Chain A
Amino acid sequence: MLTSLWLLIAIPFVSGGLLLLLGRRADRWGHWLGVLAPAVSFVLGLIAFVQLGGRSDKAVEQNLWSFIAVGDLKIDFGLLFDPLSGVFVLLITGVGSLIHLYAVGYMAHDERRRTFFGYFNIFVAAMLLLVLGNNYVMLYLGWEGVGLASYLLISFWFNRPSAATAGKKAFIMNRVGDAGFALAIFLLFKELGTVKYTGDGGVFESVGQLSQGTVLMVGILLLLGACGKSGQFPLQAWLPDAMEGPTPVSALIHAATMVTAGVYLIARSNPIFSANPTLQVIVVSVGAITLLIGCIIGAAKDDIKRVLAWSTVSQIGYMFLGVGLGGGAYALAIIHLLAHGFFKANMFLGAGSVMHGMQDQVDIRRFGGLSKHMKITWLTFMMGWLAIIGIPPLSGYFTKEPIIAAAFERGDWTSWLFGGAALLGAGLTAFYMTRLFVLTFHGPKRWTEGQHPHESPAIMWIPLVLLAIGSVVAGFLMKTSVVTWLNPVFEGVETAHHESVIPHSLINILGIAFTVIGAGLAWMLFQRGTALMPEPAGPVVTAARNNLYTDAFNEVVFEKPGRWLTRALVYVDNKGVDGLVNGLAALVGGGSGRLRRLQTGFVRSYALSMLAGGVLVLGALLAVRLG
């Protein structure tokens, strides 16, 4: 299998292409093809992963064909399968297959289900290309591919203005990040003459030649790209709006896989990020800020999917924190990413199941007491809830706690800052997730008229159960060889190991304590339900309800000047450029009209003009000689 890695990408790509090209002819069976493709890729990926385990070099590279060859720029369409991409392949195809299966039920009544699966398959193919490429251009290709699929799927119900707007918002904010990423690639090529990861003097081998300033620049640009794709501060605003897409989309793209591409980018580029301490501080800061923003806003939202979305923002903040810390924390961040993929996908699908039973109601104020009516959803959601807030022995505990501990190991005052933020985040996470869980499944019923909640069909709850199991056991990956496996990818990463500022056991206890306090507080506050409408609240809650005014900030700082700039440019274009062009055109036209009169039609004047030309040519030749 390791010799034909391209199959992993080709299968969903061809399937997606078929679904889109065949049109209505594929309506009856298209969704099953759509489910089959990622499932086959998953099986192949699993085989490849096992085979990789049996090899000593832990990395397989394949150059399929020369993709671009212009002058010094030579880019192969090359694939790289190593533990890092292997883990991602399994996550994408594994969780992806389950979500595809779920979508068969969820989208059953949508007449464009085949198109949906076409986009979904294309997404999987692009995401696989993103993680399997062996150079930055391949990564960028996949990066743009998932961006496109994300746009198409967010605005899948494009006749809803909010969905169309959300799609555009996601696309445009991603462009900001993508521009940064593209500049980073240009810069790498300019400085190093290559965009390949490793081998033949690849980027990672020659990053040491770069000056610190260049490394910082490349790193910041890459980080900008990562922030755009992963919804990190300051480009986080699109992610919650992206929940306008169908719930399986939110689960697969905007929770489990695509939004973690930024984490993948930084983890993959670890030699660059490890080469400059300032860069690491920036990444850690972005992670810390984002995880707190996500928690705070998540605690104030009432839309079940938006709470989960802000939770995603926050959890990816943890991952950024991890990859920013460097050293052993890279692997921790990746494991947390995997675990998050399971429990967040689980909860999103759970939310979808709740909406399915509640006539697409999304307001958690209007739920309550659903545990009796949707037992499977309730139980599986509970697994996700316990996992994300970090209750031992579920996965979140094993994956989040080491990151918090690592944050305390920086060895100077920043340990307190980042460690504290991570701990506080853990408490807040417990608070808002408990709020979500309690308001949805427990307490008094606050349904609107005519609701008859019911359990979803088997095709929807089977994936839920499987994902719930994943949420429970993913933490044990920490105890397996996967961590040591990932090490070849991160080897050579400098592990400046400092003593933790507070003992490890104390962190452990503190973490659980924060979690229990947060969860308990929420349980006490919300077990009796909540008001049906938002009530006036203090400045903090109001700010949180308004996304901490980040949208307003964007509007004032970026959008308004942008509009002014656009207007100014339009003005310049209309008056200046068009004026110039039109003026030139008038000049040419007028000149033509005048010159035309020289073409009189009389042979005598023709002959005269030839004579004049002859005299000029003669004179000029003689003048050239004399001059």
Chain B
Amino acid sequence: MPELKLPDIDYAALLPMLILFGAACVGVLIEGFVPRSVRNMVQLVLSLAAMVAALVFVIRRAGEVTAENAATIGGAIMIDNMGLFMEGALLVLGLVSLLLFGERTLERGGAFVPHAAVTVGSERDREQAVDSGATEVYPLALFSLGGMLMFVTANDLLTMFVALEVFSLPLYLMCALARRKRLLSQESALKYFLLGAYASAFFLFGVAMIYGFAKGVDFRAIHEAVRGSETSPTLLLIGLALVAIGLLFKIAAAPFHVWTPDVYQGAPTPVTAFMAACTKAAAFGALLRVLYVGFDGAKWHFTPVLGAVAVLTMLVGAVLAVTQTDLKRLLAYSSVANAGYLMVGLLGGNKDGLSSTLFYLVAYGFTVIAAFALVSLVRDADGEATHLSRWAGLGRRSPLFAGIFTFLLLAFAGIPLTSGFMAKFGVFGAAIAGDQTWLVIFGVLTSIVLAFPYLRVVVMMWLSEPGETTPSVSIPGVLTSAVLGIGTVATLLLGVLPGPLLELADQASSFIR
């Protein structure tokens, strides 16, 4: 029997992930042993502390990345500049959206249901209406976020698959935990789970194909096989297509976006914000790594096809957003279209494409979290009032919040002085530099289309008379206010002074193979 050699593990590099997973385990214990009355506070503080600690270690690591120390656990995880940037971005966005989880002043007991398994509308369900909401969401979110960190730093396809499942499974659960409109929530969770499993199957099948081609699943082996292999690349292309489908599902690219509107609408709004910002970022981080590190030699093959997917994504997102009547669905389609714009930057190739995509992810993340935070404020007796018609005349009732929402919508539309403009400008510029002008043409055209639904909301809020049914805007608690403030200020700052983040993204835009 040959000598057994265990891989070296660089715990310092893995610490952010380990902290999150560890804190999640502690969170499970807290569920078991801490009294219900203080559980929310304890869980919230623990989760935030874990994220901050993880963030601190990410930042401390920032200067120390070298080509030698980047890979760890036998090359399964790669903490390079790009991975570190994505970890930091995910932690910051996760931190902000986690604040929304903790909000308890808008609704008694918070946005989550105490016992999800209780049949909707039953006697017990009415009894639990006043109970404190489930606090399992915190460990679930931590598990999910830890999985995302692993996802963006995975250096082989199998680790990536494990990470994919680690961050997806908690998300499926969290989607089902809405306190109000729970049938919708449970339906969305089931849909998300089924389709997610379906997409995972594609991914796994693709991994098998690629293994058949490259005789390995780590990106260096794949890269070398793509460049130098004598074997016919049919297997490679099949594998690439299937792996890409698994990832395109997560970023919500058409036609793999079908789950997005249903899930965004059904999931509790804090979870939607978390998904819109973090899942998208994580999935793009992984897609960037797969395409730039593993398959860059097959660029000529995948660019036109993924370009077509990007165009379709932008078109579907923009066109379908036009007729949406529910604000959360509208934001879901906007998120689909934004996935298209991000793909434009990604397909631009080279360093510019990479750094502009990174900037876009962060900028969009902040804006979308703030937007969902605002959606959670407009409520009536049945919870959030997300139908568009209910928002008519909101500008008269609460000019401040309507003003903030207008600003956020303008950022989505990419109006100058907002981060949305800088972000779009960056990805389009990178695509032009990378000779993908056709993508930019579609990008600009769909941006025009997309401006319509955004502006329609603005017009409704400001120019319509408030009706009898116009709900009031709840006074946000400290946590939601903080989220709103952070998101709005970040949207403004990244639009006015994008320099520091652009520089950071530029420094981060290098992979180690």
Contact = CB atoms under 8 A, between A and B. Distances in A.
Direct contact of A and B (CB under 8 A): yes
Contacts of B322: 588-589, 592
B302 interface: yes
Interface stretch (B163-171, B242-250, B283-291): B242-250
Contacts of A593: 323
A537 interface: no
B25 interface: no
A595 B255 contact: no
B143 interface: no
Nearest to A607: B198
A614 interface: yes
Interface stretch (B110-118, B218-226, B256-264): B256-264
B304 A624 contact: yes
Nearest to B237: A621
B176 to A, nearest CB: 15
A419 to B, nearest CB: 59
Interface string A578-612: 00000001001101110110010101001101101
A622 B302 CA distance: 10
Interface in B226-274: 233-234, 237-238, 240-242, 244-245, 249, 254-256, 258-259, 261-262
Given A617-B305, A618-B238, A621-B237, A588 B258 contact: no
A596 B194 contact: no
Nearest to A626: B234
Contacts of B106: none
B301 A603 contact: no
Contacts of B259: 606
B202 interface: yes
A624 B258 contact: no
A73 interface: no
B309 interface: yes
Contacts of B258: 599, 606, 609-610
Contacts of A610: 195, 198-199, 245, 249, 255-256, 258
Q: By CB atoms of chain A within 10 A, which of B240, B255, B300, B452 has the most?
A: B255
A588 B320 CA distance: 9
A617 B241 contact: yes
Contact of B301 (A589, A596, A621): A621
Contacts of B305: 617, 620-621, 624
Contacts of B308: 620
B255 to A, nearest CB: 4
Given A606-B195, A614-B245, A585 B452 contact: yes
A85 B292 CA distance: 62
Nearest to B303: A624
Interface residues of B, number: 39
Nearest to A617: B241
Interface string A421-461: 00000000000000000000000000000000000000000
Interface string B304-335: 11001100000010011111000000000000
A625 interface: yes
A591 B249 CA distance: 23
A613 interface: yes
A609 B248 CA distance: 14
B191 interface: yes
B304 to A, nearest CB: 6
Interface in A303-326: none
B320 A606 contact: no
Contact of A589 (B199, B242, B323): B323
Interface string A23-46: 000000000000000000000000
B190 interface: yes
Interface in B155-198: 190-191, 194-195, 198
A599 B233 contact: no
Contacts of B449: 588
Contacts of A603: 190-191, 194-195
Contact of A618 (B194, B242, B300): B242
Contacts of B255: 609-610, 612-613, 616
Contacts of B198: 607, 610
Nearest to B260: A599
Interface residues of A, number: 26
Nearest to A611: B198
A447 to B, nearest CB: 60
Interface string A261-287: 000000000000000000000000000
A607 B194 contact: yes
A146 B252 CA distance: 57
Q: By CB atoms of chain B within 10 A, which of A588, A593, A609 has the most?
A: A588
Interface string B19-52: 0000000000000000000000000000000000
A588 B301 contact: no
Contacts of A588: 319, 322, 449, 452
Contacts of B241: 614, 617-618, 621
Contacts of A612: 255
A614 to B, nearest CB: 5
A599 B202 contact: no
B431 to A, nearest CB: 19
Q: By CB atoms of chain B within 10 A, which of A592, A593, A616, A622 has the most?
A: A592
Contacts of A616: 255
A494 B265 CA distance: 80
A612 B255 CA distance: 8
Contacts of A592: 319-323
Contacts of B256: 610, 613-614
A528 B199 CA distance: 107
A610 B196 CA distance: 11
B450 to A, nearest CB: 10
Nearest to B318: A588
A617 B195 contact: no
A601 B258 CA distance: 9
Nearest to A623: B305
B340 to A, nearest CB: 14
Contacts of A622: 234, 237-238
A614 B242 contact: yes
Contacts of B202: 614
Q: By CB atoms of chain A within 10 A, which of B240, B261, B323, B449 has the most?
A: B323
Contacts of A620: 304-305, 308
Contact of B302 (A589, A601, A613, A621): A621
Contacts of A589: 322-323
A601 B262 contact: yes
12 contacts: A585-B452, A588-B322, A589-B322, A592-B319, A599-B262, A603-B191, A607-B198, A610-B245, A610-B249, A610-B255, A610-B258, A613-B255
Given A588-B449, A621-B301, 11 more contacts: A588-B319, A588-B322, A591-B319, A595-B316, A609-B258, A610-B245, A617-B305, A618-B237, A620-B305, A621-B240, A622-B237
List 7 A-B pairs, minimum CB-CB distance, nearest first. A613-B255, A606-B258, A592-B323, A592-B322, A618-B241, A620-B305, A621-B237
